[in-house]
Amino acid sequence: MAQGAERLKEGHWVTIFPEGTRVAPGKTGRYGIGGSLLATRTGTPILPIAHNAGEYWPRYAFRKRAGTVKVVIGPLIQTAGRDLLTVNNEVQSWIEGEMRRISPERHVHP
C-alpha cells in the first residue's frame, strides 16, 4: 500500500488486476479489494479496462490462438471520499457488464 501510494505521488500509473490472474472466458473470479483500497486511500480515480484476451490465450495454456482481442477502456471511476467496497463493486459491475457486451456468447446474462 505504501509503495503504491508513493508511486502515485511520483506521478506513475499503478496497474492492478482485480482478479489477480486470467479467468476462463465466461467466468468471474473474486475481485480483490487492493486496488480499490489504494485508490480510495489516495483519492486516485480508477480507469477500468475490460478485454477478452483469455479467449485467445487461456489460463494455464502456453499456446495462444489467433484472433482479435477486444479492449474497452472505461470512464474514470472517482474514489475520493467513497467507501472502498462501493468503489470495488462499481469497478466489478462495469468490467463484467463490458465482458457480457464484447463476448455475449461466453457470458450468461443474469
Does any domain span residue 109? no
How many domains is the chain partitioned into structurally? 1
- Domain hosting 82: range is 2-103
Q: Is the pLDDT of residue 108 over 60?
A: yes
Does any domain span residue 43? yes
- Are 85 and 8 in contact by the 8 Å Cβ rule? The answer is no
Q: What is the 3-state secondary structure (H, E, C) of 51-107?
A: ECHHHCCCCCCCCCCCCCCCEEECCCECCCCCCHHHHHHHHHHHHHHHHHHHCHHHC
Does any domain span residue 110? no
Does any domain span residue 33? yes
Single-letter code of the amino acid located at 76: L
> 72 forms bridges with which residues in the sheet?
50
Which tens digits make up the pLDDT trace of 51-96? 998 888 887 778 888 999 999 999 999 999 999 999 999 999 999 9
> Picking from 12-16, 23-27, 72-76, 82-86, which range would have the lowest pLDDT averaged per residue?
23-27
Does any domain span residue 108? no
